[in-house]
Amino acid sequence: MSTSTLAPVSTPTLKPLPFDPSKLKGLSERLIRSHWENNYGGSVKALAVTKKHLAEALAAPDMPPYLYNELKREHLLRTGSVVLHEYYFDNLGGSGQADAGSRKALAEAFGSFDAWETEFRRMGTGLGGGSGWVVLGFNTHTRQLENYWMADHAHGPAATLPILVMDMYEHSYQMDYGAAAAKYVDAFFQNIQWETVAQRLEACCRPPAA
């Protein structure tokens, strides 16, 4: 294939925080800014570099496939990190009070809103001291809302759109809570931006067209 037909490399950019980090409850501004700048920001920069190297490698006729795939692995990991961090920060900055529509949708999917919250919290606490994500997601294939356990940025459920994302890597809470992951989970719930959750539910959970 001629290299002249390759698409130009799109450069990922840092998305601003959608809230004032000094006004969260139980999550310090220092923690949030460090998380946003160093962890999320680091992945944005790494993704840009990886995409540049991929474009160069694809144009190199002698590039061994196994080396190219190492770059694609990094591409997968960094893309997952950028996307999940953006979902995470976008669903923070709220009152923590779920609206009636979101409560109804979760009650229908899990039997009760409390059953959903109990499972989501338990999964987060279970990831304490390690790494991963807890994601409430809507599976477009099964048409179900479910909570998903994710060990890293690269391995997630197929055909699933994130509705509510909680980062459980230690960098998301260690500065404020040390190893007390359950206290971080409590603080996360106090700051959920349920308006954003409701918009995501509305966008993805409409009945399929007849």
Backbone angles phi, psi at 164, to 5 degrees: -140, 130
**Dist CA 52 CA 4 (whole Å):** 16
Tell me which CATH homologous superfamily contains domain 100-204: Iron/manganese superoxide dismutase, C-terminal domain (3.55.40.20)
Nearest C-alpha neighbor of 128 from the set 57, 190, 181: 181
Report yes or no: 159 and 60 within 8 Å, Cβ to Cβ: no
> pTM for this structure?
0.93
Residues 6+ apart with CB under 8 A from 197: 91, 98, 102, 163, 164
- Which pLDDT does position 6 carry in this prediction? 55
- CA–CA separation, 117 and 106 (whole Å): 9
pLDDT confidence of residue 12? 84
Q: pLDDT tens, position by position, for the chain (210 residues)?
A: 344 455 567 888 999 999 999 999 999 999 999 999 999 999 999 999 999 999 999 999 999 999 999 999 999 999 999 999 999 999 999 999 999 999 999 999 999 999 999 999 999 999 999 899 999 999 999 999 999 999 999 999 999 999 999 999 999 999 999 999 999 999 999 999 999 999 999 998 766 555
- Strand pairing partners for 160? 139
Q: What are the residue boundaries of the structural domains of the chain, listed by start?
A: 100-204
